[in-house]
Amino acid sequence: MKATFAVLAAAVALSACTTMDIETPPVLVTPNNARDAMGIDVYARARAAGNPVPRFRGQDTVEVRAFGNVDGNGSREVSNVQCNVDSGLYKATILTPANVGVPNYGPDSPSIFVRCETGEFSGSATVDSYNITASQRSNSAAGTGLLGAIIIGAVAAAQIDPNNDEFGYPNIRVTLKERAAQ
């Protein structure tokens, strides 16, 4: 009996961690000032005119998901939640779960704000781009012991080069909560 309960509890815990497959193609952002953009590169025309603007490094894909206890059955991933994605430079409207195609400007990539609403539930999240290359260097130092981590950390810090390092965004997870009565 105890073994059956333990297996059932483990299955419930694992099902809470599972995520839905994203079955739709990535949604590309729309530049706020389409006149100055080419595709999703919001600085294209300014760069072509010789202005000092961030370098376009291509397109990244950011995963957006919504989680909450919207049906009283515990916190889980919620699909078909409308979310507005906004960086100040570009925007998109999506239904969760979704992948969003955003421009990559390396260390100059803007923060992304996501606001999701469904019925009486809403939530928001903000993410910043991060240096993937530096993060990978730091992670490789984790298993080397204290002295090894200090040495590898110092070497990694000396090698940080925002102009050549790879940057990206973490996946965005929005927690939905019941809106306060108005």
Q: pLDDT tens digits, residue range 64-108?
A: 999 999 888 888 999 999 999 999 999 999 999 999 999 999 999
Q: What is the mean pLDDT of the chain?
A: 83
What's the pTM value of the predicted model, to 2 decimals? 0.78
Q: Are 15 and 69 in contact (CB under 8 A)?
A: no
At 160, list the tokens: 């940080």
pLDDT digits (tens, 9 = 90+) for 136-180: 766 555 555 555 555 555 555 555 566 788 999 999 999 999 987
Which residues contact residue 31 at a Cβ distance below 8 angstroms, ignoring those fewer than 6 apart? Answer: 37, 40, 42, 89, 90
Predicted pLDDT of residue 80: 95
Number of H helices, E strands in the chain: 4, 12
Decide the pairing of beta strands 59-68 and 172-178.
parallel
